[in-house]
Structure 1
C-alpha cells in the first residue's frame, strides 16, 4: 500500500486480492487499484467526493511522470466543484498508447518546476496553476466556483494572474482573466457563486458578498447585496428548514421563524430582499432581482453576453450502500503473474 492508501494489483498476489475482495476486505477503485472498503457517511455528496478522490489517487499511483491537474487537482486541494470530473486529469510528458484508459484525460502542457507540488503523496499542480488550468478549460461558472474557494483558502490572485500570463497558448486567456478578476472569497457555497454569476452576467454592478446590515434588532448578513440600492439577494437552501438535517439539535421550525423575523427587520429598514432557490432557473432568478431595480437603472444595464448562460445543475450522486456488497470471485485487473509478492496490507 502506498502513502495514499491505494493497493496496486501489479505489486500483489492476485489470489490474495481475490480473497480480500470475496471477504469484503478490499474494494476496487479502478482497474488494477484497490483499497480498504469505506462505509457510507450518509451524505451522498461526501461519498461521491471520496470515490472521486480515491480514483484520482489510484491513477496517480499507477502512472509515471504524471501530475494530477485541472478539476482533479482541485479535488486534491479541497476546492469546491460544481460537478465532479468524469475523468482523472493529468499532465504527462509522453503520449498515451491507443489502449489508454478512457477514465483518464491526459494533457501535454508546459509545467514549470514551481507549478508542481505534492499533496498527501500525490504529485499535482500547485493551487494557482490548478485554478488557472480550470479557468482556461472549464465553463466560466464552473471555473468561478473553483476560483472563489481558492481565494477563500488563501490563493494569491496576483500569482494566479502571473501564471496565466506565462502560458504560451493564448486560447482561453481572456475569459480566464475575467473569471479570476470576478472571483470573490466571500462565496460560501457553489450556489452563492451561481447566483453572483447570474447577476454579473446580467450587467448589474458587482455585488458585495456577505454584506453586513445593521438594524435596531441586531446585525444581519446577506449572501450578496448592493448597499447603494438597499437590495439583498440570497440563495435559500431547503436543508436548514428540514427537521434534523443539520444534526439532532437542529430546530427547523425555529430556523424558519428566525428567518422570517430577520427579513421583517430588514424590510422595516428599507431593504429589499430577494430569495432564490435551486428550483429557480437562471432566467427566473435574474428577472426577480432585476424587477427590484429602478426602471432607469434596468434600462442602462449592459449584459455580459460573452459569458455563457449557467449550465444545468448536475444530478445528485447515487447513494452508496452503508456496507460494501459482497464481491464475486473474478479477474483481478492490472496484476502480473510473475510479480513479486509483497503481501496484501488490507486486513
Structure 2
C-alpha cells in the first residue's frame, strides 16, 4: 500500500495507524476543504483533486478503493479500464468494479460492484502498484457488458499501436481470441466475437470508433478509414471516413485534428477554425462533399442518421 500511496499521492488513514499516527488531522482537513475524501479512509489534497479531469478523478477513486481495502481486491471492467487508460464512452460509473469468487457471488456491496468468476487469478497484472485484470481480459470484460459502439471504442483503442508521441500498450486481435477461449466465455460470446471482428486499428480516436460502430448499426455502408487526400499543393490530410462510391467524406469533430499536435504546437481557437476551413475548402475543391458531426451527434443515433442521410448516404433502414 505504501507503493500505491507514493505513486498516486493518496493518504490512507489505515497506513498512518501502522506508524502510530493519527488520521484525525486529515478528517479535519477535509472539513476545512484542504483535502478531499475520495474513498472511506483515503484522502487526496484538494488542489490535486481539482486539477484532475473526471476520468482521472474516477481513476484515483478506484485506486483508493482497492488500496484502502484490507483484502486489496482486483480491479476489473470499467475500473480496470481507467487504470489502463482505455477510453470509456458515456457517463463514468459510481461504483468500483472488482472480481469476486464464485462462492461469494456477484453483488453490489458498499462502493464495490463484485463480479463473480471462476478465473480469479487468471490474467492479472500490477499496474501502478494496483492489481487489475490484464489489458486483454479487461477489453473482453468490457465487451461483455457495454453496448456495441462503446465496446468497439475500447477495443479499437486496445489494438491500435502506440506511437513515440503517444505511447500506449496495445494488443493483437489474436490476444483477444486467446483470452476469450481461456476464460471459457459462453454466455455473451457472440456479442464479444462481433466486437472483435469489427475492431479496426485505423480508427483514430474513441469518437471515430463510436461513430463507425453507430454508422454500421444504422445500416449505412462501411467507410474507408484514414483515406489520404492530396491536391496540387500537396497533402491535405487523412479523412476519418470516406465513401468513394458516393463521393462523401465524413469527419468526426474535425476541430480536434488541430489540437492533436499535428503542427507541433498548440493553436488558438481562431487558428483552428481558419485551418479547418482551409482544409475543408481544399477537400471540397476535389469534388467530394463533406459531412461533419460532433460528440453529441455520435452518441445520438437519430442525429447521426439525419446528418448522413441528408448528405446523400443511403441506409438499408428507414430511420434510426
Q: Which residue in 2 is equivalent to 1:277?
A: 294
Q: Which residue in 2 is equivalent to 1:80?
A: 87
Per-residue Cα deviation, 1:203-258 (whole angstroms, up to 9, x for no partner): 3333232221122232222112234443210112667899xxxxx96333333233
CA contact (8 A) 1:145 1:190 kept: yes
- In 2, Cα distance between equivalents of 1:34 and 1:71: 22
Q: What SS does the corresponding residue of 1:74 show, helix, strand or coil?
A: helix
Q: Which of 35, 59, 64 is equivalent to 1:53?
A: 59
Unaligned runs of 5+ in 1: 243-247, 310-347
Q: Which residue in 2 is equivalent to 1:68?
A: 75
Q: Which residue in 2 is equivalent to 1:148?
A: 156
Per-residue Cα deviation, 1:124-179 (whole angstroms, up to 9, x for no partner): 11000000000011111221121111112421211112212333342211111111
Per-residue Cα deviation, 1:269-322 (whole angstroms, up to 9, x for no partner): 22221111234342232233234447xxx3xx556x9xxx7xxxxxxxxxxxxx
The Cα shift of 1:23 comes to 6.3
CA contact (8 A) 1:128 1:156 kept: no
- In 2, Cα distance between equivalents of 1:97 and 1:268: 58
- In 1, Cα distance between equivalents of 2:49 and 2:64: 20
Unaligned runs of 5+ in 2: 161-168, 260-264
- In 1, Cα distance between equivalents of 2:296 and 2:44: 38
Matches within 5 A, 1:56-135: 56-61=62-67, 62-64=69-71, 66-83=73-90, 84-93=92-101, 95=104, 100-101=109-110, 103-111=111-119, 113-135=121-143
Q: Which residue in 2 is equivalent to 1:218?
A: 234
Q: Which residue in 2 is equivalent to 1:188?
A: 204
Q: What SS does the corresponding residue of 2:4 show, helix, strand or coil?
A: coil
Residues 1:259 and 1:14: Cα distance change in structure 2 (over 3 Å): closer
The Cα shift of 1:78 comes to 0.9
Residues 1:63 and 1:270: Cα distance change in structure 2 (over 3 Å): farther
- In 2, Cα distance between equivalents of 1:7 and 1:277: 39
Which range is displaced more, 72-81 or 54-63?
54-63
**Of Structure 1 and Structure 2, which has the larger fraction of its residues in helix?**
2
Per-residue Cα deviation, 1:51-78 (whole angstroms, up to 9, x for no partner): 2111111121215262100011110101
Q: What SS does the corresponding residue of 1:66 show, helix, strand or coil?
A: coil
Matches within 5 A, 1:20-31: 20-21=29-30, 26-31=35-40
Q: Larger Rg: 1 or 2?
A: 1
- In 2, Cα distance between equivalents of 1:205 and 1:56: 40
CA contact (8 A) 2:105 2:115 kept: no
Residues 1:260 and 1:164: Cα distance change in structure 2 (over 3 Å): same
Find out whether 1:18 has 2:18 as its counterpart. Answer: no
Per-residue Cα deviation, 1:41-98 (whole angstroms, up to 9, x for no partner): 66xxx52122211111112121526210001111010111113222110002262899
CA RMSD of aligned residues (A): 3.2
